[in-house]
């Protein structure tokens, strides 16, 4: 064999041997990059920024409600309008579009109307959950609807943060100097989205639990992309109300008009339009 051909042959053989060796060499799996740890101050600042960036909100969702406060399990459609810091309108409708109730919260007062019965209730928002009938389910539903934003953590409240089962757990104490927890929130470490929230009463008893599932991006605010849970499960500590909220449409920061706020009408009206429902 000529020398040049022999050299080419040996070079080809050596290349094949190297390729075979590379094929047999184990490849180490990529090491997952852990998200940087956050402090309690950083997490609270993130929550405040996220909450403040949602100036207005519209939502369309389905509610499945049960519990001792209701005569029987109910399923309804709900239209929700919010304006920061605390003006809310919640309208619910049966499957055929008949209105069940119309609730307006503003300036610490509530106005609750039952159009089909022509009945109305008014009073302090703080007293709503103590009203008979749908008072407890409505209060729980309002807490669950906006709960994924984390609520407002006041400068007077004390917080502590720990890691537990690959999640952040934030305890919020309403009274300085006391260890009584008013709220406990669990966060996904990677996204800082709330996955669970527990509320406690003045005696330290569990008042309500809410879990938030299947987050999806619904828009953008000044704080960045806004993710919202597709499903929220909520239950009060006394078993009066158990709710499943399935969100179909979320519109962050829409321009609101007088039509969004009323006036509340005693006669039946059709379910609101303008939402594109996701099935």
Does residue 32 form part of some domain?
no
Residue 278: per-residue pLDDT:
43
pLDDT in tens, 209-234: 999 999 999 999 999 999 999 999 99
What is the domain-level CATH number for residue 175?
A: 2.50.20.10
Beta carbons of 134 and 116 less than 8 angstroms apart = no
Beta carbons of 233 and 243 less than 8 angstroms apart = yes
Residue 49: per-residue pLDDT:
94
DSSP strand pairing (158-164 vs 119-124): unpaired
Residue 276: per-residue pLDDT:
46
Q: Which residues contact 203 (CB under 8 A, 6 or more apart)?
A: none
pLDDT in tens, 115-150: 888 888 898 988 887 766 678 888 899 999 999 988
Residues of the chain scoring pLDDT < 70: 1-36, 131-133, 176-178, 263-279
Does residue 20 form part of some domain?
no
Residue 116: per-residue pLDDT:
82
Question: In sequence order, what are the beta bridge partners of 212?
Answer: 232
Query: Can you give the residue range of the structural domain that contains 85?
Result: 40-251
Residue 268: per-residue pLDDT:
42
Residue 150: per-residue pLDDT:
85
CA–CA gap between residue 229 and residue 58 (Å, rounded): 14
Does residue 9 form part of some domain?
no
CA–CA gap between residue 98 and residue 271 (Å, rounded): 7
Does residue 210 form part of some domain?
yes
pLDDT in tens, 239-250: 888 999 999 999
Residue 213: per-residue pLDDT:
96
Does residue 11 form part of some domain?
no
Residue 111: per-residue pLDDT:
92
Mean pLDDT across the chain: 82
CA–CA gap between residue 248 and residue 98 (Å, rounded): 19
Does residue 275 form part of some domain?
no
Does residue 257 form part of some domain?
no
Does residue 16 form part of some domain?
no
Residue 208: per-residue pLDDT:
94
User: Where on the phi/psi map is residue 57: left (φ > 0), alpha (ψ -120 to 50), or beta?
Assistant: beta
**What is the tally of structural domains in the chain?**
1
């Amino acid at each position: 064999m000529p020398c040049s051909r022999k050299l080419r042959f040996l070079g080809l053989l050596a290349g094949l041997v190297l390729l075979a060796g590379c094929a047999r060499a184990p490849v180490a799996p990529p090491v997952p990059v852990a998200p940087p740890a956050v402090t309690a101050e950083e997490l609270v600042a993130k929550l405040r920024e996220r909450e403040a960036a949602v100036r207005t909100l519209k939502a369309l969702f389905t509610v499945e409600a049960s519990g001792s406060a209701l005569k029987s399990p109910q399923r309804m459609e709900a239209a929700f309008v919010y304006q920061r810091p605390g003006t809310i309108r919640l309208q619910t409708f049966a499957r055929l579009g008949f209105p069940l109730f119309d609730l307006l919260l503003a300036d610490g007062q509530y106005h609750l109307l039952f159009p089909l019965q022509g009945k109305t209730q008014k009073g302090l928002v703080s007293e709503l959950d103590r009203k008979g009938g749908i008072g407890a389910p409505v209060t729980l539903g309002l807490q669950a609807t906006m709960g994924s934003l984390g609520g407002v953590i006041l400068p007077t409240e004390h917080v502590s943060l720990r890691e537990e089962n690959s999640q952040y757990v934030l305890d919020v104490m309403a009274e300085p100097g006391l260890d009584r927890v008013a709220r406990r929130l669990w966060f996904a470490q990677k996204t800082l989205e709330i996955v669970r929230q527990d509320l406690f009463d003045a005696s330290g008893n569990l008042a309500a639990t809410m879990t938030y599932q299947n987050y999806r991006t619904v828009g953008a605010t000044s704080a960045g992309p806004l993710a919202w849970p597709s499903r929220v499960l909520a239950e009060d500590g006394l078993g009066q109300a158990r709710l499943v909220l399935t969100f179909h449409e979320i519109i962050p920061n829409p321009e609101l008009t007088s039509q969004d706020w009323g006036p509340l009408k005693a006669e039946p009206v059709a379910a609101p339009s303008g939402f594109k429902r996701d099935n």
